[in-house]
Amino acid sequence: MGRLTGKHALITGGTTGIGLATAQAFIAEGAQVAVTGRNPATLEQAKAILGKNAWVIASDAGRTDDQRQLAATLGERWSQLDVLFINAGDVTHNLLAAWHEEAWDRLMDTNLKGPFFLIQALLPLLNNPSSVILCGSVSARIGLPASSAYAASKAALLSLARTLSAELISRGVRINGLSPGPVETPAMNKFGLSDDEQRAMREEIKKLVPLGRMGTPDELAKAALFLASDDSSYMVGAELLVDGGTGSL
């Protein structure tokens, strides 16, 4: 019997990268899984990869109306939700002088406002017990240039893991943060860089990691599986760093 047999799990941003790898890990451990995304191409790709083992739902993590609709859609098919992995995120990085309000609002809507109101909308579905995992980032711990808005949004999300834990623990809802370090995912392709520039960026990123390499989606998926399962039943309001030592050494 798998560690998630009989459980229902929702993964936002689950059509690519860490989210997709986590969906595969959850399915392998017996869970019924729903994943969300907003890119039509990756939605179709996830359907092809996950097949009938997952429910692929189009939803924009930065729109509160979409979060309410997502909760309603899940409630039509599922009577409970045992695992919520809030993984969708806007990874925009810019120097302070380059930021404008529209981009700031979009990042904060996706990384903080949307997750907050998704948890609120899912409250009637969250089982007792259930596990909520908020995807933070090691960027919240280090002073990396051009990461100011992104790091601030992730620091706020990790704060929610602590404060909402105190609020919801009496309902059997455990909330923990999972903070990746640099991970090799398709998000690396969203910076508009040439192939040579991307290679150079990767080499610079590796220098930040004491292990000397970037992580893989599968390594983060294993950590998410631990937090989702009863193996982590004594963890509440904690942050699990899976970062190759970036934020600790």
Does residue 2 lie in a domain region?
no
Sheet of 81-86: strands edge to edge?
54-58, 32-37, 8-12, 81-86, 126-135, 173-180, 239-242
234 given a catalytic annotation = no
Does residue 27 lie in a domain region?
yes
Does residue 198 lie in a domain region?
yes
Does residue 112 lie in a domain region?
yes
Instruction: Tokens for 226, please give them.
Output: 């631990």
Classify residue 37 as exposed, middle or buried by CB count within 10 Å of its CB (0-12, 13-18, 19+): buried
- Which residues are bridge partners to 174 per DSSP? 131
What range does the domain containing 134 cover? 8-242
Does residue 3 lie in a domain region?
no
Catalytic residue among 150, 154, 168, 246: 150
Does residue 248 lie in a domain region?
no
Does residue 70 lie in a domain region?
yes
Does residue 247 lie in a domain region?
no
CATH of the domain at 42: 3.40.50.720
Number of structural domains (the chain) is 1
Segment 113-117 long-range contacts (CB within 8 Å, at least 24 positions apart): 113/62, 113/64, 114/60, 114/61, 114/62, 114/63, 114/64, 114/66, 114/67, 114/88, 115/12, 115/61, 115/86, 115/157, 115/160, 116/160, 117/64, 117/67, 117/68
pLDDT per position in the chain (249 positions), as tens?
899 999 999 999 999 999 999 999 999 999 999 999 999 999 999 999 999 999 999 999 999 999 999 999 999 999 999 999 999 999 999 999 999 999 999 999 999 999 999 999 999 999 999 999 999 999 999 999 999 999 999 999 999 999 999 999 999 999 999 999 999 988 766 666 678 878 888 998 999 999 999 999 999 999 999 999 999 999 999 999 999 999 998
> What's the one-letter identity of residue 87?
N
Rounded to two decimals, the pTM is: 0.96
Q: Tell me the chain's radius of gyration from C-alpha atoms.
A: 17
